Amino acid sequence: MEFQVKDENRTEAQADILMPFEDVREHLVVVGNGMAGCRAIEELLARDAGRYRVTIFGAEPYVNYNRIMLSPVLAGEKTFEQIVINDRKWYDDNGIDLIAGDPVTMIDRAAKTVTSQSGRTMGYDKLLIATGSDPFIIPVPGKDLPGVISFRDMKDVDTMLAAADAGGDAVVIGGGLLGLEAAHGLTLRGMKVTVIHLMDTLMERQLDEAAGWLLKSALEARGQTILTGANTEAIYGEGKVEGVRLKDGREIPASLVVMAVGIRPATALARDAGLEVNRGIKVDDHMVTSDPDVLAVGECVEHDGNVYGLVAPLWDMCRSLADGLTGQHSGYKGSVTSTKLKVAGLDVFSAGDFSGGAGCEDIVLRDASRGIYKRVVVKDDRIVGAVLYGDTADGGWYFDLLKRGATIADMRDLLIFGQSYAAGGGALDPKTAVAALSDDAEICGCNGVSKGQVVACIEKGACSLDAVRAGCKASASCGSCTGLVENLLAVVLGDDVQSGPRTMCKCTSFGHDDVRREIVAQGMRSIPEVMHKLHWSTPDGCSSCRPALNYYLLCALPGEYQDDQQSRFVNERMHANIQKDGTYSVVPRMWGGLTNPRELRAIADVVEKFNAPMVKVTGGQRLDIFGIRKEDLPAVWADLNAAGMVSGHAYGKSLRTVKTCVGSEWCRFGTQDSTGLGVRIERMTWGSWMPHKFKIAVSGCPRNCAEATIKDFGVVCVDSGYELHIGGNGGIHVRATDLLCKVATEQEAMDYCAAFTQLYREEARYLERTAPWIERVGVDYVKRRIVEDEAGREALRARFLFSQQFMQDDPWAQRAAGANSDLHQHLDPISIAAE
């Protein structure tokens, strides 16, 4: 996908202008490629796609992105690609000409043309102004010094990231929403941040004093310095910013100053064009300005005396605008706003009027030790305002009651405890809670999606979280409404909902099972592809999800997937077991626990040659050589290879050992050749990567000397054949195996083993041993798949053996031959001679 708009596109747009008669439709020109401008066009397309020819001018050289998601980009939680709302394809598919990076500088209403910075002049039939707002720069000395910036667009984010790379101190002027998000992002990027706020309470427009104080304490605990009641006198520095001086004389050194004291509607263009402008561009209920052919929408407008700086009113305005342009006159009635946000991981919500006043009563809940504060302002038995801190789960419910003007008289005594207690008498589960919301209750604040729209999307066939995200964009941005969307899916679809119970990790809202299913269903082939298509919230995952994704892809694409070494835990990357001092232990494979003089001599030689301080017999019937340095590992492996030994995978989420007793060949009680069977099973299964470690044992008689009934797969030989046991574990929680079935021949024992192993590989979640997996799915399920379904068993076995062709390649031999040598060698510094 391409986001930077290239010059060729401009040429096409210009070519278009030379042939104005080709397209007889009315020409709608949009000034502003931001959230309001593009949303208005989306709404218009949804109503009457072909009605207008559309051209959009944008000041920034990008496609339409979600400006309120710049904070996660700054914080490193999202990439720019992840916050794009409409990519290049959207413009192409809808026949929209995008002229990006070339702002409109003049409107000639008499000639009905606009002129851009580059000198391009274009005629319009209808003009839509969506210029948004400009950051307010306080007029102090030094405000123009290099290193003083605002926080408004992608360029500001790039400047902040560059500054953070150089490290040092940053000052953020303004303790409102934007300022605190900038401060949080810069703190995460390693800068030491001081927030200067003129008022006594942080975010005083959204929070009351008590909640503001809680927020301040929590931010201070996260390492930020917060100065409230602090008045900036000057920004000082020679040639670039060096610090901020306050009116009281204090000086705060800084190499970066972010000014985030507020925004003001960007009205200059409209004012110069002679349109009626007050605080914002004045518009009527259909977003029409004082010129009937010029409309305006978003943060740049003033409607009924109100100017809005939040995203939610913008969605309402765009609906009314599109209705007006397509001849359906609904009319914008103004918006009651709410704010729900996360600052530094802290949940904050406010809505309506919480300043109090005549006839207002406060209902307050404080739980200081849990960091929770809730205040609901009630007037005449109706909610007029709410402030929530720490637990904002009921924000949507209060806001819904507020907007509907619903009476709370009969639940007043329980109101503050939230919806689950106050509505309906008993405690509600989350599904009932979401079911009780009205259709126009907002679910996704980032994209302005109501409950009714989500439900409509689900009813049109979206039956998974991903499908809802693709269909109506709910939960596709910050993800904080994911729980609500999942509950709506459950309410609408009941058992048909496709979702897992728990998410893989904090990087995604998908569960393990969802991710695996989507990998197979969409034919995904790499970790970045999975992260992109499934809306990962981090640029490259974490140490939980990356190894899991690597395994899922490896399992889904045997022989094709290129294993990602950097997504392997250290032991699997180094093919040895890391010890507490950073050295490694090395365990060569001893098939079924058998060894011979040649192997023992080679091990003894390695121990002496590399001064290994300890050798130990393991619980899995083999020898463990301790204290090997990473640099020496390839040489150790070369020596062991030379004696015919391969990796024992004692380090892997993989087949570990096949433990055996001596069986009928020697033992007076032995019923079958357990040692021979163990060796053959190990030859079949070695090298296979698994969701977790996997141990097998074969005992020659029911005395069970090989302890087969606490292994993942255990065989107990009896006179009449082989008992097959599954799901045992000897770890923290000892679990004896379940009996899978009894088979008559050694070949059947091998076949069932292969099929069971593959079922586990394909269906268990990463890091789930067979014991909890079987507890989860039930032993009857495994019996149905392995014992009762002969064709299924055979297919599983075939898939296992197919996969094994690619797995049984000794990783030690590859490394000994020089593969991935950088993992074992130090870098070589050049100017060391000066030492």
Partner 1 sequence: MTDWIDIGTLADIPQRGARTVQIGGGKEIAVFRTGDDHVFALVNECPHKKGPLSQGIVHGHSVACPLHNWNIALKTGEAQGEDTGCTPTIAVKQEDGRILIARPQMAQAAA
Backbone angles phi, psi at 172, to 5 degrees: -110, 120
- Asked if 566 touches partner 1 (CB under 8 A), the answer is yes
**Is 369 or 543 the residue whose CB approaches partner 1 more closely?**
543
From the list 190, 229, 523, 778, which residue makes contact with partner 1 (rule: CB under 8 A)? 190
Backbone angles phi, psi at 782, to 5 degrees: -65, -40
Of 130, 103, 114, 123, residue with least CA distance to 43: 130
CB count within 10 Å of CB 201 equals 20
Question: Would you give the DSSP letter of residue 689?
Answer: B
- Asked if 828 touches partner 1 (CB under 8 A), the answer is yes
Q: Output the CA–CA distances (angstroms, integers) from residue 556 to 505, 523, 560, 655, 811, in the order listed.
A: 21, 9, 9, 18, 20
Beta strands (DSSP E) in 634-704 are: 655-660, 694-699
- Asked if 541 touches partner 1 (CB under 8 A), the answer is yes
From the list 497, 570, 594, 767, which residue makes contact with partner 1 (rule: CB under 8 A)? 570
- Return the range that interacts with partner 1 (CB under 8 A); candidates 32-40, 245-253, 467-475, 827-835: 827-835
CB count within 10 Å of CB 659 equals 25
Of 659, 728, 649, residue with least CA distance to 690: 649
Integer Cα distance of 661 and 812 in angstroms:
28
From the list 39, 67, 88, 189, which residue makes contact with partner 1 (rule: CB under 8 A)? 189
**What distance lies between CA 779 and its chain's CA centroid?**
34
- Asked if 831 touches partner 1 (CB under 8 A), the answer is yes
**Is 342 or 573 the residue whose CB approaches partner 1 more closely?**
573
> DSSP assignment of 356-421, as one string?
--TTEEEEEEEEGGGTEEEEEEEETTEEEEEEEES--TTHHHHHHHHHHT-B-GGGGGGGGG-HHH
- Return the range that interacts with partner 1 (CB under 8 A); candidates 164-172, 212-220, 254-262, 593-601: 164-172
What is the number of alpha carbons within 13 Å of residue 649 lying toward its C-beta? 24
From the list 23, 165, 361, 439, which residue makes contact with partner 1 (rule: CB under 8 A)? 165
From the list 371, 483, 539, 721, which residue makes contact with partner 1 (rule: CB under 8 A)? 539
Q: Output the CA–CA distances (angstroms, integers) from residue 584 to 393, 566, 627, 692, 755, in the order listed.
A: 48, 18, 6, 20, 34
Tokens 């667009």 correspond to what residue? 153
Smallest distance from partner 1 to CB 636, Å: 17
Q: Kindly tell me the number of DSSP H helices and DSSP E strands found in the chain.
A: 27, 38
- Asked if 578 touches partner 1 (CB under 8 A), the answer is yes
- Asked if 829 touches partner 1 (CB under 8 A), the answer is yes
Sheet containing 623-628: order of strands: 577-578, 584-586, 623-628, 614-617
- Asked if 830 touches partner 1 (CB under 8 A), the answer is yes
Integer Cα distance of 387 and 203 in angstroms:
12
Q: Output the CA–CA distances (angstroms, integers) from residue 290 to 248, 284, 294, 317, in the order listed.
A: 47, 8, 8, 17
**Is 45 or 83 the residue whose CB approaches partner 1 more closely?**
83
Site mask, partner 1, residues 707-736, x = CB under 8 A? ------------------------------
- Asked if 574 touches partner 1 (CB under 8 A), the answer is yes
**Is 572 or 751 the residue whose CB approaches partner 1 more closely?**
572
From the list 517, 573, 783, 785, which residue makes contact with partner 1 (rule: CB under 8 A)? 573
- Return the range that interacts with partner 1 (CB under 8 A); candidates 252-260, 348-356, 573-581, 792-800: 573-581
Of 247, 278, 252, residue with least CA distance to 265: 278
Site mask, partner 1, residues 233-252, x = CB under 8 A? --------------------
Smallest distance from partner 1 to CB 570, Å: 4
Strand partners, 64: 86
- Asked if 370 touches partner 1 (CB under 8 A), the answer is no
Smallest distance from partner 1 to CB 814, Å: 16
Smallest distance from partner 1 to CB 762, Å: 25
Strand partners, 134: 264
From the list 3, 14, 76, 411, which residue makes contact with partner 1 (rule: CB under 8 A)? 76
- Asked if 589 touches partner 1 (CB under 8 A), the answer is no
Tell me the number of residues near partner 1 by CB under 8 A. Answer: 37
**Is 77 or 442 the residue whose CB approaches partner 1 more closely?**
77
- Return the range that interacts with partner 1 (CB under 8 A); candidates 300-308, 560-568, 700-708, 718-726: 560-568
- Return the range that interacts with partner 1 (CB under 8 A); candidates 250-258, 487-495, 540-548, 783-791: 540-548
- Asked if 39 touches partner 1 (CB under 8 A), the answer is no
Q: Which of residues 620-639 bind partner 1 (CB under 8 A)?
A: 630
Residues forming the site for partner 1 (CB under 8 A) = 76, 164-165, 167, 189-190, 538-543, 546-547, 565-570, 573-574, 578, 580, 582, 630, 822, 825-832, 834-835
